Amino acid sequence: MTEPLQVDAASPRTYEVKTYGCQMNVHDSERLGGLLIDAGYVPVAEGEQADVVVFNTCAVRENADNKLYGNLGHLAPVKAQRPGMQIAVGGCMAQKDRDTVVKKAPWVDVVFGTHNIGSLPALLERARVQEEAQVEILESLEVFPSTLPTKRDSAYAAWVSISVGCNNTCTFCIVPSLRGKEKDRRPGEILAEIEALVAEGVSEVTLLGQNVNAYGVEFGDRQAFSKLLRACGEIEGLERVRFTSPHPAEFTDDVIEAMAETPNVMPSLHMPLQSGSSRLLKEMRRSYRQQKFLDIIAKVKAAIPDAAITTDIIVGFPGETEEDFLETLAVVEQSRFSGAFTFQYSKRPGTPAADLPSVDPALIADRYQRLTALQTRIGLEENQAQEGRTLEVMVAAGEGRRDDSTGRMSGRAPDNRLVHFNGVVPSALDDGRGALRPGDMVTVTITRGAPHYLEADGDILALRRTKSGDAWDRRNGAPAEVTPGVGLGMPSIGVPAPLPPVTGCS
């Protein structure tokens, strides 16, 4: 019989956060990491087993349940051999399933919801002392997450939440019931966080919200989002601003004007379509119809000719006919998306659409293949149209899965297209500072467009070292640093950490 592994009580306990789902979850996981570091935990070394494993879950897809419980099952024997190991489950699945998590996986120590991520360290300690599972699910947000400490994953790019929750009632979506009604941060708080990030070396921010362009509804300013974009343009050192995800029903002309007129707001837009059929959009309660969507696309392209537009599309929503699907194909053809996230409809218990008659799975699979084939062709054509263009690319970390084998590096163009480029610094540009760092800027000429990325195989034409690259250098190999939350006049958890010298659904 294998002897249980003993946890060294003298060493700091290690943690790992496993994240599933949307960008909001990714950012929440940065908060969870910051909270655990603030409480004395340290990130686990690569290849090692953590003392505390946190699952930050998603509930949007039907297979999310199976994925979570499968992963928990794999950890059960590991935990049995490691006295003192703890497992926590948070996020949307925890908010939905609540006590069910512990019933199905009694070896789980902590279950916490979307509204109380700040409680994790206290719940872990309570579970350890009381030697029983702790389940805490709040029904509404008590403290905006940005008041919490944050372990930023990147030294050069950062997520910034401007709102949480959603006031829409899309019939296929479970998110509003799990994230709650929209809560908006005040503009001054958002801008203060961005300015602090830029001071630390960040040069790109992505504004986050479940319905990001509805920002301001809570304090009654319908143009608050466009004003926020313009205010971001006044922040010195902030080179790139992006946002996700907007809702077509509330995407107004003042936002398009702000995008076009604010130089650091990038020419990229994610505009969820979901269906091209006005009949189905009504069934989905999407509050816009086909023509309104196409009008938005046309206005964006007229104001920002180089804009790359991506989308979300659901195939097989209940009641979808062949005629409905053909309308979706027609909108895709006309919109010329640079990319699309396509999904086969997934029934979520508790949503109105879950009670509607299902479409034949074979039909859904066939339509899905036809849609992806069409979008792959369009994506290829749109990317081939980029050939010969000279673009400034922000060097990224971990974007190219084959960079090591090809000798290339990867980064993002202003329109957010992924670019794989020759990463060798020409002797004429060699400044003696070594290899390119994530966050540095290179100017390259696109030599080939593929369906999902661009290639630039010629020499780098220009190199601009950045504060973000310097931040990457300082962070590389250094202990994990935590960015304090932006204070809202409310008490925070633990002792606030000092500012580090530099860190990086609609």
Token output for 237: 């050192």
Residue 491: which region, alpha, beta or left (left: phi > 0; alpha: psi -120 to 50)?
Answer: beta
Q: What's at 474, amino acid-wise?
A: R
Distance CA 275, CA 283 (A): 10
Give the burial class of 67: count Cβ atoms within 10 A of its Cβ; 0-12 exposed, 13-18 middle, 19 or more buried: middle
Residue numbers belonging to the annotated binding site for [4Fe-4S] cluster: 22, 58, 92, 166, 170, 173
Distance of CA 490 to the CA centre of its chain: 26
Alpha helices in 309-420 (DSSP H): 322-335, 361-384, 403-406
For residue 157, the number of C-alpha atoms closer than 13 Å in the C-beta half-sphere is: 19
Instruction: Give the ranges where 39-162 is alpha helix by DSSP (H).
Output: 64-80, 92-97, 99-104, 120-130
Q: How many CB atoms lie within 10 A of CB 60?
A: 20
The answer to whether the beta carbons of residues 266 and 414 sit under 8 Å apart is yes
Known binding positions: 22, 58, 92, 166, 170, 173
The two three-digit tokens of residue 201, written as one number: 């070396």
Q: Tell me the backbone φ, ψ of residue 348, rounded to 5 degrees.
A: -115, 115
Going by C-alpha positions, the residue among 87, 18, 23 that lies closest to residue 56 is 18
Nearest to 273 by CA among 357, 347, 337, 368: 337
Query: Nearest CA to 450 among 393, 392, 400?
Result: 400
Write the CB contacts of 466 (distance below 8 Å, at least 6 apart in sequence).
156, 203, 239, 439, 440, 441
Q: Cβ contacts of residue 188 below 8 Å, gap of 6+?
A: none
- What does DSSP assign to residue 427? G
What residues have CB less than 8 Å from 277, skipping those under 6 apart?
290, 320, 323, 324, 325, 327, 328
